[in-house]
Chain A
Amino acid sequence: DVKVTQSSRYLVKRTGEKVFLECVQDMDHENMFWYRQDPGLGLRLIYFSYDVKMKEKGDIPEGYSVSREKKERFSLILESASTNQTSMYLCASSRGQGGYGYTFGSGTRLTVV
């Protein structure tokens, strides 16, 4: 079964900490995405990548950075965690130009205290 795996299901971090969220896919997909999901706001795109070492800003990139050193891995970095970054973070991957939909990871629920 094809999979997108996120390294942690639940995470609690302190304000100011640097936080790494890891995502790995085994489908050889070109495209990978990081979203956050908050009640009433739906899914908001943080960053995406359509190739190794390529990255593009999404709708809400402030306070985040990403890394894609290998095709299968896409990391989201919170440079200095803040309480307003408490959220559900979802990684997704897709192939081609998006006509095939996304496969999502099971999400990381991050709490910043």
Chain B
Amino acid sequence: RKEVEQDPGPFNVPEGATVAFNCTYSNSASQSFFWYRQDCRKEPKLLMSVYSSGNEDGRFTAQLNRASQYISLLIRDSKLSDSATYLCVVNNRRTTDSWGKLQFGAGTQVVVTP
């Protein structure tokens, strides 16, 4: 089983609509959570960290559910420029073999259409 799993999509979203997707993680000791955005043929860039209480950054809202071991990302009022692949990322508790090491999901593709 993969440590971080995501629906690959694509999620086809009309401009102005809301889209949400989840990511599940297998290690209950995971401590830090992030969403990264990756444009085609570009490097991943940090979109936002995910906090236990949930957090919002403009049109983006991230939630963490530790009991069910998933995080979610919601995009409101989608823009054409939101088209990208969104990577779910978790950091596990410090152990001798995972110190400072992030686990990446394979990504969820979002396509915003006019």
Q: Is the Cβ of B102 less than 8 Å from the Cβ of A102?
A: yes
A63 CB–B CB distance under 8 Å? no
Interchain Cβ contacts within 8 Å, total number: 59
Residue of A nearest to B45 (CB): A104
Q: Is the Cβ of A101 less than 8 Å from the Cβ of B49?
A: yes
Residue of A nearest to B32 (CB): A99
What is the CA–CA distance of A58 and B8 in the complex, to the nearest angstrom? 24
Give the chain A neighbours of B36 by CB distance below 8 A. Answer: 101
A74 CB–B CB distance under 8 Å? no
Q: Is the Cβ of B101 less than 8 Å from the Cβ of A48?
A: yes
Nearest chain B CB to A24's CB is how many angstroms away? 15
A40-B106, A107-B43 as given contacts; A101 in contact with B101, CB under 8 Å: no
B54 CB–A CB distance under 8 Å? no
A25 CB–B CB distance under 8 Å? no
Residue of B nearest to A45 (CB): B101
A-B contact pairs, 16 of them (CB 8 A): A35-B104, A40-B106, A41-B106, A42-B87, A42-B107, A43-B44, A43-B87, A97-B94, A98-B91, A98-B102, A101-B102, A102-B44, A102-B102, A104-B43, A104-B45, A106-B43
For chain B, give the interface size range. 20 to 34
Give the chain A neighbours of B44 by CB distance below 8 A. Answer: 43, 90, 102, 104
The 8 closest A-B pairs by CB, nearest first: A42-B106, A104-B43, A98-B91, A98-B100, A43-B104, A99-B32, A101-B46, A31-B100
Q: Is the Cβ of A97 less than 8 Å from the Cβ of B91?
A: yes
Residue of A nearest to B46 (CB): A101
A34 CB–B CB distance under 8 Å? no
What is the CA–CA distance of A99 and B100 in the complex, to the nearest angstrom? 8
